Chain A
Amino acid sequence: MKQRLMMLSMAVAMLASAPLQAAEDRLMLTGSSTIAPLAQEIGKRFEKLNPGVRVDVQTGGSSRGVNDARMKVADIGMASRALKPKEADLTPYTIAKDGISIILHKSNPVAALSNEQIIAIYTGRIRNWREVGGRDKPITVVNKAEGRSTLELFLRHFGLKNSQVKAQTVIGDNQQGIKTVAGNPGAIGYVSIGTAEYEASHGVPIRLLPMAGVTATTDHVRDGSFPLSRPLNFVVKGEPGDLARRFIDFARSPKVNDIIKAQYFVPLGR
């Protein structure tokens, strides 16, 4: 028994005492879960091109990314929004853009909505689709949770405050929004364009609504003609270290455009 205990504790000790890696070889990113899959794939390609380097990506939300970058707990923070005035002590490096589109259920005959109609729907003044030329169905308004940059962009674009919005469902992530609208013929919501494009082309019953006459496509976000988009940022406090600098440059180079497109974001127009 004693022998078995000793063997067990030796095994545990061996497992636990991993050779500590030099600080320069490791890069830690934390923050937005929207950017996390993208950052991880870029990290994997970076690791292949630079053997011996490890890029670790953790999530926790944009504000965590900003806080961790500020406290130097992480080398780079990931924030899926522009920096606020209070965060002027940090430097953002945009690596991609993400457009926001309004989506309807595929079976909804309404082809376009004017800005006034959208505002009226979201503030609860218009409650039935037949008032905007659709079928006789109550409108299910889908809004995003507070603090999210998608929500803030949406509110700012339409000049609304969140307390004015009368929603029937509030969602967190894009996928939740898509699944909610896909399951309810009377729903209207807004999500990332790339995600919506992908799902729509793969048989999910949603449709993207054009905004101010411009159709919602990732190309239109890239050339700037589509009005609603947000930057995906790597944020650093002060000067980035050598490895961090190389990684940020790599992430902003055209070499990773295919990865960005594979995640259904919009590469910077270069």
Chain B
Amino acid sequence: MSDRLFEAIIYFCTATVVGLLLWIIGDLAYQGLAHLSFDFLFSEPENAGRDGGIGPILVSTLMILGVTFLTALPVGVAVAVWLAEFTRRGSIAGNWVRLSLDVMAGVPSIVYGLFGNAFFCLYLGMGFSILSGGLTLALMILPVLIRTCEAGVSSVSDAWRHGAQALGMSRSSAIWHILLPAASPAIAAGLILGIGRASAETAALIFTSGYVDRMPESLMDSGRTLSVHIYDLSMNVTGGDATAHASALVLLALILILTMLAQSFSGRWLQGRLNV
């Protein structure tokens, strides 16, 4: 009996969450769908973004996300592997790294923006650029990525590790060929959380990759992302609401596509090598 009650509670909670989300997306679609069109995706913004499209902004967004993930994924997985495989249970270094990551997860995004501006733009001389923005975002998503991957790698059953050792495999190839593929669902979850956080970020990018809405020609150019564009249109520009909602719909579609890519990456590339 309590089993049924429990099941009902679980379904109810999930339905509440899903319902709220559909409400929000519905509101967005209602306000922004009319503005969407093929042209919208490819043309330049005009009249402070109220007319025209979001072409250059999409390109900037993709470039920044590219920099973020090319930097964060290898570093994140590497640190996660180190934490899970190469640190003892109470080791000081391991605990210190974990603590730092947890604290970094709580630093406000505007502080990341100001820090990124001081460190990447000014101190390292990159100026307002896609590179600065991407690296700052990479810093922001590393905590979540590392903690999730670490949980995944450390939960892989020891039987796999013993088997690899018995076969005489070196530690590094055991990690690369066995452990990482086995932990791929966790890596995917970390990636999805990272994609979400990165695409949603506004405050950090205003100070690092900037406000310019021109088509970027290189990584050192300034370029605004979709979320910065949405923020500007809805909070700053008079009469930008409709375009803001349309841009939000495009951003949601982008997140969906990236999530599907992340899942297929972990599914095919990592897991496929296990043949399990």
Contact = CB atoms under 8 A, between A and B. Distances in A.
Q: What are the 9 closest A-B residue pairs judged by CB atoms, nearest first?
A: A18-B218, A37-B48, A195-B238, A173-B235, A264-B238, A175-B235, A16-B219, A58-B210, A198-B238
A262 B206 contact: no
Interface of B: 47-49, 122, 128, 131, 206-207, 210-214, 217-222, 232, 234-239
Contacts of A198: 238-239
Contacts of A176: 235
B235 A59 contact: no
Contacts of A34: 236
A16 B218 contact: yes
A140 interface: no
How many interface residues does chain A have, given as a range? 20 to 34
Given A17-B218, A57-B212, 4 more contacts: A33-B232, A56-B210, A57-B211, A262-B47
Given A16-B131, A58-B128, A37 B236 contact: yes
A191 B222 CA distance: 31
A194 B237 CA distance: 11
A34 B275 CA distance: 57
Contacts of A56: 128, 210, 212, 222
Nearest to B220: A18
B238 A36 contact: no
A38 B212 CA distance: 13
Given A15-B218, A263-B48, A37 B237 contact: yes
Interface of A: 12, 15-18, 33-34, 36-38, 40-41, 54, 56-60, 73, 172-176, 194-195, 198-199, 202, 262-264
B206 A59 contact: yes
29 contacts: A12-B219, A15-B219, A16-B218, A16-B219, A18-B217, A18-B219, A33-B236, A36-B211, A36-B232, A36-B236, A37-B48, A37-B232, A38-B48, A40-B211, A41-B48, A56-B128, A56-B212, A58-B128, A58-B210, A58-B212, A59-B206, A173-B235, A175-B234, A175-B236, A195-B238, A199-B239, A262-B47, A263-B48, A263-B237
B51 to A, nearest CB: 10
Given A18-B221, A59-B206, A175-B234, A202 B211 contact: no
Nearest to A204: B241
A60 B220 contact: no
B27 to A, nearest CB: 14
Contact of A263 (B220, B234, B238): B238
Contact of B206 (A60, A174, A202): A60
A41 B49 CA distance: 10
Contacts of B213: 40
Contacts of A174: 238
A199 B131 contact: no
Given A40-B48, A57-B211, A194 B235 contact: no
A212 to B, nearest CB: 25
A17 B218 CA distance: 8
A58 B211 CA distance: 5
